[in-house]
Structure 1
Amino acid sequence: MRFEIVKCHGSGNDFPLIDARDIALDEAEWAVVARALADRAGPVGGDGLLLLTAGDEVHAFGMVMRNSDGSEAETCLNGVRCVARAGFAALGIDQAQVRLKTSSAFAAHDPDLAPGVYTVRETAGPAGMDVTAWPMRIRTDRLIEGVVPALSDTIRFTAVAMPNPHLVAFVDTVDEAELVRIGTICEGAPDWLPNRANVSFVEVRGGDLFVRTFERGVGLTDSCGSAMAASTHAACLTGRIPTDRETVVFNRGGLVRAQADADGVVTICGNATFEWAGSVEVDLATRVAFGLVVTARYPDEVAAWEAAKRVAG
């Protein structure tokens, strides 16, 4: 089956994106497509697969994000921006309520974050603090700077749902080996955390944040939008940064501007960069992608984002 795709990224979190509004595949088939297209050893590669889906009476359109292992995430805020851009273009609008798996997000085309960088503002939340809803079976229903003995005797985590589950730890310096160790435990879906969780180590740099994330269903990633939102909320909740003040959140892939309010609603302003467009074949039986044809490239957008990263960092 041949798919028209756009390769895009939000803050370095990269995806193939498909307009799936008129494509009839079931859940298992879409999982196959996600694994084939997100495979870094294949012709496309990515942190997952984004689908622009049909709207309803409340939402102009929807988004589905499948991780590179084929599983469906509750949300992906970097992905929301990319799907919103595609939805805006398809429908001739510049703002929309976007349906997610278990919630919705507001998205609007915003003034450029930097010259030539297509920018979308999105609002998500309120953040959920009840870990029994994940479920996370520990001795409390709310975890704020608490130890999880199954993960570490010393690292303190704050548990936030955005609405996908995040464990956020503030550290002096990110230890990637330790992050991978803890993320791998969570990825194994232990009895006390059957639906897994994203794990982030966060450095506070003045009034800004640097976030490094082991993403559920993906692994160590250069960027995770919901992790940046969860980290911003956790930083406000624990008094590390002020509530209702815009903060720059950095990651390996770039940056976004984020702001959390007292109710746990987080607004993120970041890029939705298109790199190229084309088509690719996916054999659903063999689960392999092949025959990539690139029909358009967007070098000016790619260069604009790289320039913005250099200035920021």
Structure 2
Amino acid sequence: MYFAKYQGLGNDFILIDNRSSSKLLLSSEQILKMCNRHFGIGADGIIFVLAGNEISDYGMRIFNSDGSEPEMCGNGIRCLVSFISTLEKFEKTSKTYKISTLAGIISAELQTKKQVKVEMGIPLLLNKQIPTTLKDKNNTVINYPLEIEKEIWPVTCINIGNPHCVTFIKNSDLIDLEKLGPLFEHHSVFPERINTEFVEVIRSNYLKMRVWERGAGATLACGTGACASVVAGVVAKKNDRICTVELPGGCLSIEWMEDNGKVYMTGSAEEVFTGQYTQ
């Protein structure tokens, strides 16, 4: 089976061309094996490129390294678009694709072979939309005091294609991600688990973020998480609507438009290598 390995700010994925079949070409067991960094190719997840339909150019299914399926992935969709341009042998400088995901139709603009701008949609703030049992008087979760390990964490919850819990801290480098991440992810107030961002405000237009991803653990970057962090900072009055978000793997440009309410993410996507996988 032909595959391509891509990374977006160090968040790495195996890309599979699945357009010729209505069924996924890999089983759950094969997905787990391929993502294994010791006995397989190694990746944070596997992305399948599906055939389009009457409202989309292509479809996207993504599975985390633990086999779970999120609704979509910000870094992953940039890698998907770059991979599609290779499949199409598209050599021009710009093209926009409509991608069907479990989170709906996502519009993504290939600006260069290694740079993609994605329209991430309108963030959801109501507690039932996250989902979470937490809620304030407005049925949102903004600066809500959540107790973890006998410490109170002010959290803001956003759904932007998938669920996120954002907490602002003084020094992101001091966070014990391996300890705290699972405690947030599997907390009983998040019935479908949660992605968690620990965010430090460097300047009003520059954030520093570390992430624990649902189903993948600590990763070098999370596109939807960067978007959620900017939105959370705006509603909590901590940062501007246009921000650079620094992640361990690099930086993303995020803008939450005031006129249409949509979030836009711009960042890199690069092919690492291609190969043939023997099942």
Secondary structure at the counterpart of residue 29 of structure 2? helix
The equivalent of 1:306 in structure 2 is none
Q: State TM-score, norm by structure 2.
A: 0.89
Moved over 6 A (4+): none
The equivalent of 1:95 in structure 2 is 96
Q: How many residues align?
A: 271
RMSD value, Cα: 2.1
Counterparts of 1:257 and 1:163, CA distance in 2:
18
For the 8 Å contact 2:252–2:265, the answer to whether it is kept is: yes
Secondary structure at the counterpart of residue 152 of structure 2? coil
Counterparts of 1:152 and 1:50, CA distance in 2:
38
**Greater share of strand:** 2
The equivalent of 1:38 in structure 2 is 35
Counterparts of 1:224 and 1:148, CA distance in 2:
22
In the alignment, structure 1 segments of 5+ residues that lack a partner are 112-116, 283-313
What displacement does 1:40 show?
1.4
The equivalent of 2:224 in structure 1 is 226
The equivalent of 2:114 in structure 1 is 118
Of residues 262, 276, 279, the one that matches 1:265 is 262
Map of 1:141-180 to 2, 5 A cutoff? 141-149=139-147, 153-174=151-172, 177-180=175-178
Moved more, 196-205 or 177-186: 177-186
Counterparts of 1:232 and 1:19, CA distance in 2:
33
Secondary structure at the counterpart of residue 166 of structure 1? strand
Asked if residue 104 in structure 1 is aligned to residue 105 in structure 2, the reply is: yes
What displacement does 1:75 show?
1.0
Asked if residue 254 in structure 1 is aligned to residue 250 in structure 2, the reply is: yes
Counterparts of 2:175 and 2:117, CA distance in 1:
33
Counterparts of 1:76 and 1:228, CA distance in 2:
11
Of residues 215, 218, 232, the one that matches 1:217 is 215
Pair 237,4 (structure 1): closer, same or farther in 2 beyond 3 Å: same
For the 8 Å contact 1:62–1:99, the answer to whether it is kept is: yes
Map of 1:17-96 to 2, 5 A cutoff? 17-23=15-21, 25=23, 29-91=26-88, 94-96=95-97
What displacement does 1:26 show?
5.1
What displacement does 1:105 show?
1.3
For the 8 Å contact 1:179–1:200, the answer to whether it is kept is: no
